[in-house]
Amino acid sequence: MNISETSILLIYTGGTIGMVENPETGVLETFNFNQLEKNVPELKRFNYKISTVQFSPPCDSSEITPEDWCELVSIISDNYYKYDGFVVLHGTDTMAYTASALSFMLENLSKPVIFTGSQLPIGMLRTDGKENLMTALEIAAAKENGLPVVPEVCIFFENHLMRANRTTKINADYFNAFRSFNYPVLARAGIHIQYNSALIRPPERKPLNPHFLPDRHVVVLKLFPGITRETVKAILDIPDLKAVVMETFGSGNAPTKTWFLKLLKNAVNRGIVIVNVSQCASGSVEMQRYETGQRLSEAGVVSGYDSTTEAAVTKLMFLLGRNMTPIQVRQYMDCSLVGEITIPDKIKN
């Protein structure tokens, strides 16, 4: 397929990038993406077809729900064989959650799904939105030997292309809003876009298998010095709770007080899956490294390895939505589905 035959579907969910300033009132307003070229005339220079679809109404990213993830999956799956790639414009606050969720929900993906957005509205003079948008489109359209260069769900922001389920938002004020701490970037955009092909997942050879039933019964338990028994118990006793992402200290450490370990073990015995992820931005959980981590393992807590909280939450929602048993969920949390974790080689005796 020649580049002139390439077509990209641009999906606007909402967020800062899709706003322009009303010249009369000075208020930022969402513009109609059917008039995208009017607001971003540079797009006319691309020699491939760009179609647009817009959430109605557009959704602020702080309001994003699993139902919105399902709408995105539906749009992509319904148009999967019509387009060569997809670009999703999304607010930055929850982009890492949505993009991580889609990395699991779009099973057997073999085409690019590139998320991007901006810190400043696309209608402002110093916006980062135009550069992010145009580069994301170029990445979504990139092919080599007739195959997409990046056939996975990614986030492109401030010159870096990152695997979606490895990425987290780190900055609310500057253009470099996202970082992939535990996995190298897949590409860097400068004068040329330099891809690290060895790190990019190859395209799947099976038909796309979309999923639409993420399970919401997941919570995040962030530990802190002085956390009380009543606090932990209240969280673990939430009605219909199925899974907990527990943010621990350092390489997976937590208190070893009897009441704490007993509450965890009782929850696990009730069928609640508890996954241990680190509060540190960089590094991995190593539950066998210190006695505190070993005690968690003995209580039935599962290692999240080097997972981001966003990936752990959405992976659990995905697995639980497939009506898996707690044992099955624990097994799948202990393996990488789409490159979301790195599992250390097991020590050979």
| Cβ neighbours of 314 (radius 10 Å) | 29
Which residue from 2, 111, 15, 3 is spatially nearest to 54, judged by alpha carbons? 15
Q: Is 16 a catalytic residue?
A: yes
Which residue from 63, 40, 60 is spatially nearest to 128, judged by alpha carbons? 40
Both tokens assigned to 78: 């319904």
Query: Which DSSP letter does residue 71 get?
Result: H
* Cα–Cα distance, 10 to 51 (Å, whole number): 6
Active-site option among 6, 16, 168, 292: 16
DSSP assignment of 87-131 equals EEE--STTHHHHHHHHHHHEET--S-EEEE--SS-TTSTT-SHHH
Which residue from 39, 94, 30 is spatially nearest to 61, judged by alpha carbons? 94
Side chain identity at 134, as an amino acid letter? M
* Cα–Cα distance, 46 to 201 (Å, whole number): 26
Structural contact between residues 220 and 313, judged by C-beta atoms closer than 8 angstroms: yes
Q: What are phi and psi of 2, to 5 degrees?
A: -80, 160
Q: What are phi and psi of 169, to 5 degrees?
A: -80, 135
* Cα–Cα distance, 252 to 278 (Å, whole number): 6
Write out the catalytic residue numbers: 16
